[in-house]
Amino acid sequence: KAGSLWGGRFAGGPSPALAELSRSTQFDWVLAPYDLAGSHAHARALARAGYLTEAELHDMLAALDELGRRVASGAFTARPEDEDVHSALERGLIEIAGPELGGKLRAGRSRNDQIATLVRMYARDHARTIAGLVAHVVDALVEQADRHAADPLPGRTHMQSAQPVLLGHHLLAHVWPLLRDLDRLADWRDRVDVSPYGSGALAGNTLGLDPQAVAEDLGFASSVENSIDGTASRDVIAEFSFILAMIGIDLSRLAEEIIIWNTAEFGFVTLDDGYSTGSSIMPQKKNPDIAELARGKSGRLIGDLTGLLATLKAQPLAYNRDLQEDKEPVFDQVGQLEVLLPAFAGMIATARFNTERMAEQAPKGFSLATDVAEWLVKRGVPFRDAHQISGRLVSFCEQHGMALDEPTDAQYASIDPRLTPGVRDVLTVRGSVDARTGRGGTALVNVREQIRHAPQVLAGL
């Protein structure tokens, strides 16, 4: 039998191979509720334009509601011969309302404007869910930052010991990128808030239907200004996909640190049993699988984004069937993040930080050498010289197996006369951290300020 939505000019139905290739119900079925909402709005538009009587509209909406119930209960599902969610639901509508009434709904709309709208509705809904889940990760991080506001750890650059920082400061450094991701979603909401419904196949419709009314019906702020743009563009979906990939990347950086910190060699963090896994052969093992899955899935999320961008590249206007490939990558990203984020938030909320071990490591690796140089600068030594003097002190201590505060007064003086015993005052982790009071620095006052401010920023998003 010829394809139900477009059989008229065809002598026969699609070959089995084409049907197999063409079918999208296995993934686009998640759009069914949005398709039905679109049909509701479209039926009302048809009635307003005089193509459905009041009675017909009433019966049409009742039939759509009944179809919605059957879809929700699983009583109505796609058949192998249904090309996509739109075709299947039209078949379902006709089963309930009959071919006479059911056959009227398709006037003035195309699957091209439908699908462009539905994918936006899907993205809009899941953006809200994902933002809520990211907020839970932020909450967990801020809570841990509060608990560990004043606990030092060795801050690193190039993975090498650099300068001591506060654990609160470090955890909050993972909060701000996530808040920016949420800000990106908030900003993106304005662009997704435009409905392509009413664009028809590409050129609009001749029936006097009002796309603006349909848009409002579907909870969009407005309808598209250009029907070609409406049916052919997916930049708004690609932008959503980028934000989801970025969330994954931001999580992966923290995940990588958790994995490293969780090794016996570091011993900085212990993960809760409920958020760790064991080994099927090695009884002693307790593995940071959530962090590893976050790290791994970030690659997958990037792949989804690049796949989508590659699909969009160089497609001539307007709709091409290529655009059907826009959905699976985004559905995949959404599905992955919606299972990853709750586990990740739980892992962070329940992690125990070994603050003693961190504190013990904080001054290692001559991490206070910059403090020596800056102490000299405060005494009028040009930074160029101060850097040299501090470097010679490091070299001396390295040769003698000493920490920076261990040389005698005479040994300090032999390195440089400007290196007076008073330098020992800044050679503590506490002193180093407390001195970094400039805005954004790791001093406790700043950490406290962030702990106050970050939740306010979150609440405003």
CB of 231 to ligand ARG, least distance (A): 9
Q: How far is the CB of 233 from ligand ARG (least distance, A)?
A: 13
Q: How far is the CB of 174 from ligand ARG (least distance, A)?
A: 37
Q: Which residues pair with 153 in a beta bridge?
A: 165
- Active site (annotated) includes residue 158: yes
Choose between 114 and 223: whose C-beta lies nearer to ligand ARG: 114
Is 24 a binding residue for ligand ARG by CB under 6 A? The answer is yes
Task: Give the span between the Cα atoms of 314 and 118, in whole angstroms.
Answer: 23
Q: Binding to ligand ARG by residue 334, rule CB under 6 A?
A: no
Whole-number Cα distances in Å, 80 to 62, 92, 214, 221: 26, 14, 31, 37
Residue 367 annotated as catalytic? no
| Cα 362 from Cα 170, distance rounded (Å) | 13
Amino acid identity, position 94: I
- Which residue in the block uniquely carries the two structure tokens 């949005």? 34
Q: How far apart are CA 89 and CA 5, in angstroms?
A: 11
Give the Cα separation of 220 and 236 in Å (integer): 14
Nearer to ligand ARG, 108 or 248 (CB): 108
Separation between Cα atoms, residue 65 and residue 125, nearest integer Å: 21
Task: Work out which of 45, 46, 115, 376 binds ligand ARG, going by CB under 6 A.
Answer: 115
- Paired tokens of 367: 């991490």
Q: How far, in Å, CA of 461 to CA of 450, rounded?
A: 16
In whole angstroms, give the CA distance from residue 225 to residue 209.
Answer: 15
Closer to ligand ARG by CB, 28 or 257: give it: 28
Q: Which stretch binds ligand ARG (CB under 6 A): 93-101, 109-117, 170-178, 333-341?
A: 109-117
Q: Which is nearer to ligand ARG, 172 or 214 (CB)?
A: 214
At a CB cut-off of 8 Å and minimum separation 6, what does 459 contact?
A: none
Q: Work out which of 121, 133, 323, 423 binds ligand ARG, going by CB under 6 A.
A: 323
Q: Which stretch binds ligand ARG (CB under 6 A): 38-46, 315-323, 355-363, 404-412?
A: 315-323
Minimum CB–partner distance for residue 75 and ligand ARG (Å): 23
Rounded Cα–Cα distance for residues 37 and 79 (Å)? 21
Q: Which helix (H) or strand (E) holds 446?
A: helix 444-459
Footprint (CB under 6 A) of ligand ARG, residues 135-164:
none
Q: Which of 109, 111, 124, 170 binds ligand ARG (CB under 6 A)?
A: 111
The answer to the question of residue 84 lying near ligand ARG (CB under 6 A) is: yes
Q: Which of 15, 279, 395, 414 is catalytic?
A: 279
Site string for ligand ARG, 27-66 (x = CB under 6 A): -x--------------------------------------
Instruction: Quote the CA–CA distance of 23 and 17 in Å, as a whole number.
Output: 10
Q: For ligand ARG, which is the closer residue by CB, 311 or 442?
A: 311
Of the pair 52, 237, the CB lying nearest ligand ARG is at: 237
Antiparallel, parallel or unpaired: β 269-270 and 352-353? antiparallel
Residue 11, classed as helix, strand or coil, is coil
Least Å distance between CB 306 and ligand ARG?
20
List interacting residues with ligand ARG (CB under 6 A): 24, 28, 84, 111-112, 115, 319, 321, 323-324
**Looking at the annotation, which residues are catalytic?**
158, 279
